[in-house]
Amino acid sequence: MNTAIDTKESQVKNTMNEFNLEEAVSLIYQLAVLKKDEKAPGEKYDITQIGHICGVLTLNDQIEVVIKFHDDMRQFTKAEFYAKVKLLDKQDK
The pLDDT score that the predictor gives to residue 92 is: 67
Query: Domain limits of the chain?
Result: 28-92
The pLDDT score that the predictor gives to residue 5 is: 46
Q: Distance between CA 56 and CA 47 in Å, rounded?
A: 23
Fill in the DSSP letter of residue 28.
Answer: T
Q: Distance between CA 87 and CA 35 in Å, rounded?
A: 9
Single out the residue of 75, 93, 8 nearest to residue 85, CA to CA: 75
pTM of the model: 0.77
pLDDT in tens, the chain (93 residues): 455 444 444 444 555 689 999 999 999 999 999 999 999 888 899 999 999 999 999 988 899 999 999 999 999 999 999 999 999 987 666
